[in-house]
């Protein structure tokens, strides 16, 4: 997921091939879901053995760490990247920081509150918000049952499909003079994406045995294969009638919309999830390639450094249009090498200690647990 997101963010032709590679699904969906599954698995186990207060403290310490990394990225964006944008007048950079360049003080203050989220810097604020709510969600799910968490989450997602975010923003603008335009609040609609996070928490908390059994059914796998194949055909427009009228455009775009997690996008993602679960025993060992494992062990730091490399690439080549393929290849190789170098450096044992696995700020294994 990290490698796919990196290739998508870099201003090279690799983005064209990496983006939505398997259908109408991006790497971000899998990234958020897997993070939620790990969070649910680790902290539900801690919650069963210890107090809710300890889970709360641990998760909020993780939030503080994430927030610190986010502030570091903002500092680079508002100083170095902004200065280069003003000097070079490259549209890719000006579009990245247009609100900051027009309203310096407001942009800085609102970004500290995780309200203003420039492109490439909107995933961490969403993750921080979800992580802050996680102790309460785990507590409710364990004490009263996950139906009291999943049902409201589903209603919020449904509201997002009908423009709830825009309605709330319009109300705040009209009645409270809210100063930040909707497009500068981040691309991700949190009312929609929270459903993916909460669903992952439920999976990770171990309350989904029936669903897992259903995923392993032959009929489910066969149906998922048909659904995934149909979306793959539509994605690459392999049917002539869809070439001039792509199915994800026009009036049907909202059904495939990434930022609102449209219903057909979720269906495509669910089908791919079923197939991955079925194939996992056969491909797990092959995917356990050392460089990928090391990237996963330091995924928080690796994610942040790929944002820095993306900033650097935008400063060098803008949107990448017309750039020679050798320069594009150099950008990709340099970025992936830098990510791996950081992951390798963090994985080195220090003072005889066993390396710690960090997945977006999660410590693994949990204290007292063995792998």
Residue 101 scores a pLDDT above 90: yes
Q: What one-character-per-residue DSSP string does 236-265 give?
A: TT-SGGGTSS-TTSGGGHHHH-TTTT-HHH
pTM, rounded to two decimals = 0.89
**Contact, 50 vs 368, CB < 8 A?**
no
Cα 78 to chain centroid, rounded? 22
**What is the pLDDT, as a whole number, of residue 300?**
87
Alpha-carbon distance of 158 to 172, in angstroms, equals 21
Q: At what angle do helices 299-317 and 2-9 cross, to 10 degrees?
A: 10
Give a yes or no: residue 371 inside a domain.
no
φ, ψ at 185 (rounded to 5°): -90, 5
pLDDT tens string 107-139: 999 999 999 999 999 999 999 999 999 999 999
pLDDT tens string 241-279: 666 667 777 778 889 999 999 999 999 999 999 999 888
Q: At what angle do helices 164-176 and 190-204 cross, to 10 degrees?
A: 130
Geometric angle at alpha carbon 163, from 161 and 168, rounded to 5°: 135
Give a yes or no: residue 78 inside a domain.
yes
**Which residue(s) pair with 362 in the sheet?**
359
Mean pLDDT, rounded, for 216-234: 93
Residue 359 scores a pLDDT above 80: no
pLDDT tens string 162-200: 999 999 999 999 999 999 999 999 999 999 999 999 999
Give a yes or no: residue 282 inside a domain.
no
Question: For the chain, what is the domain count?
Answer: 1
Give a yes or no: residue 217 inside a domain.
no
Q: Give SS3 for 129.
A: helix
Give a yes or no: residue 243 inside a domain.
no
Residues spanned by the domain of 18:
2-207+288-364
Give a yes or no: residue 280 inside a domain.
no
Longest Cα–Cα distance of the chain, Å, equals 63
Give a yes or no: residue 127 inside a domain.
yes
Pick 103 or 247 by higher pLDDT: 103
Q: What percent of the chain has pLDDT over 90?
A: 70
User: Strand (E) positions, the chain?
Assistant: 357-359, 362-364
Give a yes or no: residue 28 inside a domain.
yes
């Amino acid at each position: 997921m990290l490698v796919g997101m990196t290739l998508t963010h870099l201003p090279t032709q690799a983005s064209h091939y990496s983006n939505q590679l398997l259908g109408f699904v991006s790497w971000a969906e899998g990234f958020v879901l897997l993070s939620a599954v790990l969070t649910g698995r680790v902290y539900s186990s801690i919650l069963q053995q210890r107090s809710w207060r300890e889970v709360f403290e641990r998760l909020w310490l993780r939030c503080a760490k994430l927030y610190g990394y986010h502030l570091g990225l903002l500092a680079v964006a508002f100083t170095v990247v902004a200065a280069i944008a003003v000097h070079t007048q490259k549209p890719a950079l000006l579009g990245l920081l247009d609100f900051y360049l027009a309203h310096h003080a407001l942009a800085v203050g609102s970004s500290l509150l995780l309200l203003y989220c420039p492109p490439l810097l909107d995933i961490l604020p969403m993750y921080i918000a979800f992580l802050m709510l996680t102790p309460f969600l785990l507590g409710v799910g364990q004490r009263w049952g996950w139906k009291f968490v999943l049902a409201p989450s589903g209603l919020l997602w449904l509201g997002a499909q009908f423009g709830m975010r825009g309605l709330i923003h319009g109300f705040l603008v009209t009645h409270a003079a809210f100063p930040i335009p909707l497009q500068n609040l981040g691309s991700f609609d949190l009312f929609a994406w929270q459903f993916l996070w909460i669903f992952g928490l439920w999976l990770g908390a171990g309350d989904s045995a029936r669903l897992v059994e259903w995923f392993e059914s032959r009929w489910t796998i066969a149906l998922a294969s048909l659904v995934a194949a149909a979306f793959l055909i539509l994605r690459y427009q392999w049917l002539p009638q869809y070439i001039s009228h792509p199915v994800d455009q026009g009036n049907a775009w909202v059904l495939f919309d990434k930022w609102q997690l449209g219903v057909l996008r979720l269906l495509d993602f669910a089908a791919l999830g079923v197939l991955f679960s079925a194939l996992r025993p056969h491909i797990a060992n092959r995917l356990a390639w050392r460089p990928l494992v090391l990237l996963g062990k330091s995924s928080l730091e690796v994610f942040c450094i790929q944002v820095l490399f993306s900033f650097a690439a935008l400063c060098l080549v803008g949107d990448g249009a017309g750039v020679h393929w050798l320069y594009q290849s150099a950008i990709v190789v340099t970025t992936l090498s830098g990510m791996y170098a950081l992951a390798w450096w963090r994985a080195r044992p220090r003072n005889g200690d066993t390396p710690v696995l960090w997945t977006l700020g999660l410590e693994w294994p949990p204290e007292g647990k063995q792998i």
